[in-house]
Chain A
Amino acid sequence: MSDDQPDRPLGGTGYQEVQASDEFQELRTRFRRFVFPLTGVFLAWYFLYVALSAYAPDFMSTEVIGRVNIGLIIGLLQFVSTFTITMAYARWADREFDPTADRLRAHIEDGETE
């Protein structure tokens, strides 16, 4: 961010006030509580798949439905989980996160610039 931007809505201290406000702190906490554990879950799930493929090939090669084996099924489930997490996050962000974020944003931009 270059410092010459003329239309900055708030000075530093104004942002610090917002940052210290309960509403912002709660927004931040909710955001982190949602995305951090979810990130941990999908990374663990992905590396479980990679590790099983590398170190348990016999298990992954067990055929379940016709020629479709467990490895392929877990691989396809990675697609399912990715799509599910994507939609769950988008839904959560639209419904739970955006209203508060928009309110704070409107408060900051309207309250201070004019």
Chain B
Amino acid sequence: MPAAATASGDIGSPALNITIFIVFVVITLAIVLRASRNNRTAADYYAGGRAFTGRQNGIAIAGDYLSAASFLGIAGAIATVGYDGFMYSIGFLVAWLVALLLVAELLRNTGRFTMADVLSFRLRQGPVRTAAAISTLAVSFFYLLAQMAGAGGLVNLLLGVDGSAGQNLTIAVVGILMIVYVLVGGMKGTTWVQIIKAVLLIIGAALMTVWVLGKAGLNFSALLGDAAAASPAGTALLEPGLRYGLTDTTKLDFISLGLALVLGTAGLPHVLMRFYTVPNAKEARRSVVWAIWLIGIFYLFTLVLGFGAAWLVGPEKIMAAPGKANSAAPLLAFELGGTLLLGVIAAVAFATILAVVAGLTITASASFAHDIYANVIKKGAVRADDEVRVARITAVVIGAVAIVGGIFAKDQNVAFLVALAFAVAASANLPTILYSLFWKRFNTRGALWSIYGGLTSAIVLIIFSPVVSGKIDAKTGASLSMITDTGIDFHWFPLDNPGIVSIPIGFLLGYLGTITSKEVGSAEKYAEMEVRSLTGAGAEKAVEH
């Protein structure tokens, strides 16, 4: 066992990790600067001039989706709870079929920059756009905060930065870099960062996968056996139930999570916005096909990496490391390739956070500038460069809020925020998107009830769930909630994930709102939307440079 790995907080060489990360930042900044030379119009800033190919955008989508939560989180979950961790990755993958079959192409054909473009297409602009923008901002903010807080924990592990001041500094550096990428590069620059990061991540994971399989004699069954032997759980590591099989409540919780994962992806605003960066629906389709292959193959890698980490590092050592389960992949990298491989994986993990927060920021700023400022406040009477100026200012504000929020949240257990983002996306966004694309009768009240109802129920249920208060580790008596004071317990909703309740509420309210409203939708607008969504007539073209 390498001596360096036993000291808590610093494995490998922090100097090397930081150097590799700086190299990544310098290279991507150069590319972003180059890409930004053609940033002139709103379509350039929001949608990269719609000039990316399906393959490029597919790689960028994979980059966006394989956030630190899914790269480090899933590998760690498989290492510690085995089979139940694997189930996560399946939900994350299958979800893409909803995007492929029902959403991507139709959205590309009808909208310009944001989710609200589609939702408000044939409904009343003001209220629907406002609601869609609020939901977009909420989802982006939850996701952003989770990523920023995660950055704090990672720093401790990977860069050997201990202490509050050092972590705060790192969060601030991540935030400032992100603002620079977004301001300078717009969607084009951000997309290139995603592409580079996704390629590095997938190559790194592939390398480690082959290495682990090689060590296991290319025998997957032997790898499983070795992992089970190294785990305190034994064979249970390979069987369902280690995390979710304890009680009927935890089983229901898993189904609730599965529902949110599968239905949430196609409602994530930063994923939806990526479909506008390609010239047409056919390329949007191609990009999802590429994304599904890359994400699927990557999750197959994490299956090997997770069990490999259980075998070669051991769940006890993983849970003792700073960052707990999140440290499984980095520790495995160190075990396999020493400081150099750890440095590469650490840099990729940071690049991941950087790229994902940049994507979220551009989505949130586009939503505010395009939906709220240009279309609601100015009623569409606004010059494009004025709108982009507002988007840039918003990006700075969001970046600042993310830095402050990340600093406050870094010691909190905020992993649930990602689950919350998926739950809100599935409860508030997806029902409205599907109704508006496929249900003729759907009207403004239905959209508002569905968005606000889905959003509110998901947030309220989370606040009164065990993830915020009252969850206690049966063995140690320590709190597992966000509020760590075990004396405070106001939870009454039994599940960690609200999806199983809030998603049906979102769909039901959309239906009830529609049928109780006397508003008769414009048949003309419906015809236009339906014809355009399926044929691509009148869809936004790529920008010529």
Q: Which residues of A contact B (CB under 8 A)?
A: 1-4, 8-10, 12-13, 15-16, 18-19, 24, 27-28, 31-32, 35, 38-39, 42-43, 46-47, 49-51, 53-55, 57, 60-61, 65-69, 71-72, 75, 78-79, 82-83, 85-87, 89-90, 93-94, 98, 101-102, 104-105, 108-109
Contact of A10 among B220, B374, B538 (CB under 8 A): B538
Contact of A86 among B289, B380, B528 (CB under 8 A): B289
Complex: A60 Cα to B36 Cα, angstroms: 52
Closest residue to A35 on the B side, CB-wise? Answer: B101
Contact of A1 among B97, B110, B258 (CB under 8 A): B110
Contact of A72 among B120, B228, B238, B531 (CB under 8 A): B238
Contact A108 B535 (CB under 8 A): yes
Closest residue to B282 on the A side, CB-wise? Answer: A98
What are 20 sample pairs from A and B whose C-beta atoms fall under 8 A apart? A2-B374, A2-B375, A12-B522, A12-B528, A16-B523, A19-B527, A35-B102, A46-B94, A46-B258, A47-B255, A53-B84, A53-B87, A57-B239, A65-B221, A66-B222, A68-B221, A79-B93, A79-B299, A82-B296, A86-B100
A67 touching B228 in the complex, CB below 8 Å, given contacts A12-B527, A12-B528, A90-B285: yes
A38 cross-chain contacts in B, Cβ below 8 A: 101
Contact A54 B240 (CB under 8 A): yes
Given contacts A66-B224, A86-B292, 8 further A-B contacts (CB under 8 A): A1-B110, A28-B534, A32-B438, A39-B98, A54-B255, A60-B239, A60-B240, A86-B96
Contact B98 A104 (CB under 8 A): no
Contact B380 A78 (CB under 8 A): no
Complex: A101 Cα to B374 Cα, angstroms: 32
Contact B94 A54 (CB under 8 A): no
Contact A83 B375 (CB under 8 A): no
Q: Smallest distance from the beta carbon of A109 to chain B beta carbons, Å?
A: 6
Contact A15 B240 (CB under 8 A): no
Contact A66 B221 (CB under 8 A): yes
Complex: A1 Cα to B96 Cα, angstroms: 25
Contact of A15 among B245, B296, B527 (CB under 8 A): B527
Residues of chain B from 513 to 545 with CB closer than 8 A to chain A in the complex: 522-525, 527-528, 530-532, 534-538
Contact A1 B121 (CB under 8 A): yes
B101 cross-chain contacts in A, Cβ below 8 A: 35, 38-39, 85, 89
Contact A93 B535 (CB under 8 A): no
Complex: A8 Cα to B100 Cα, angstroms: 27
Closest residue to A59 on the B side, CB-wise? Answer: B240
Interface presence of B416 (CB below 8 A): no
Contact A24 B531 (CB under 8 A): yes
Q: Smallest distance from the beta carbon of A28 to chain B beta carbons, Å?
A: 6
Complex: A13 Cα to B527 Cα, angstroms: 8
Contact of B117 among A1, A10, A43 (CB under 8 A): A1
Interface presence of B254 (CB below 8 A): yes
Q: Smallest distance from the beta carbon of B472 to chain A beta carbons, Å?
A: 23
Complex: A4 Cα to B93 Cα, angstroms: 39
Complex: A71 Cα to B90 Cα, angstroms: 12
Contact A46 B262 (CB under 8 A): yes
As a 0/1 sequence over residues 247 to 266 of chain B, the CB contacts with chain A under 8 angstroms (1 = contact) are: 00001001100100010000
Residues of chain B from 256 to 296 with CB closer than 8 A to chain A in the complex: 258, 262, 282, 285-286, 288-289, 292-293, 296
Contact B531 A108 (CB under 8 A): yes
Residues of chain B from 150 to 209 with CB closer than 8 A to chain A in the complex: none
B381 cross-chain contacts in A, Cβ below 8 A: 4
Interface presence of B83 (CB below 8 A): yes
Complex: A13 Cα to B544 Cα, angstroms: 31
Q: Which 9 residue pairs spanning A and B have beta carbons closest together?
A: A66-B221, A12-B524, A67-B224, A61-B239, A53-B240, A19-B527, A108-B537, A54-B251, A15-B528
Contact of A31 among B111, B282, B534 (CB under 8 A): B534
Complex: A61 Cα to B241 Cα, angstroms: 10
A51 cross-chain contacts in B, Cβ below 8 A: 255
B532 cross-chain contacts in A, Cβ below 8 A: 15
B224 cross-chain contacts in A, Cβ below 8 A: 66-68, 72
